[in-house]
Amino acid sequence: MNAKILRLNKAGVPISWLTRQETATLLVKDQVIWSLGDTVMEIRGGFNRGGVQSVLKLPSIVACDGKVHKDQYDPPLENKFLFRRDKNICLYCGISFPLHDLSRDHVLPISKGGLDVWTNVVTSCRRCNNRKADRNPEEARMELLAIPFVPNQYEFLYFSNHNVLVDQMEFLSARFSSHTQVS
């Protein structure tokens, strides 16, 4: 089982994905202040004098104590996350491609002042990227099928894990922006 546990801060904002071992450590150190979701796994320990075995139940979502940061969230821009944001679809021709046939396209080319930021990059197939070349979509007479956006923390954590459990998905998707539709 490759399921990860979703870690939240005490305000309920997602922070990261944890392994089962990391989650067990937080639980036994009493650093989990509340939890949600189904039990992902039970870890059985030793027996006490009364013959009762200890059991540690790992929930799918845990909230940990600590500082709550109010900073603006700035997700890292990497192709694997970009392609997942755009659902492996070329945003020029609208066709879904395998990862090895995709590339990052700068809507406004860097040579013309464009930046390498979430709001200026889209997933493109190699054919469309070559056709567009060093031009903006209007100059290349190519229509952009969606507006690029910066994923919020909830969306980014979804993009960064390919094994999201149902209860984790319900928690995360309730806070997706209107841009993100998960099918």
pLDDT tens digit string along 30-71? 999 999 999 999 999 899 999 999 999 999 999 998 777 766
Residues 65 and 14 in one domain: yes
Residues 166 and 122 in one domain: no
Residues 65 and 84 in one domain: no
> Could you tell me if residue 148 is inside a domain?
no
> Could you tell me if residue 113 is inside a domain?
yes
> Could you tell me if residue 124 is inside a domain?
yes
> How far is Cα 120 from Cα 117, in angstroms, rounded to an integer?
5
> Could you tell me if residue 57 is inside a domain?
yes
Question: Which pLDDT tens digit goes with each residue over 83-102?
Answer: 999 999 999 999 999 999 99
The tokens describing 102, both together, are 């995709």
Question: Which pLDDT tens digit goes with each residue over 93-137?
Answer: 999 999 999 999 999 999 999 999 999 999 999 999 999 999 999
Tokens 């879904």 sit on residue: 96
Residue 125's domain spans which residues? 79-132
Q: Are 149 and 177 in contact (CB under 8 A)?
A: yes
Residues 30 and 61 in one domain: yes
> Could you tell me if residue 137 is inside a domain?
no
- The CATH number covering residue 108 comes to 1.10.30.50
DSSP state of 72: P
> How far is Cα 152 from Cα 135, in angstroms, rounded to an integer?
29
Query: How many domains does one find in the chain?
Result: 2
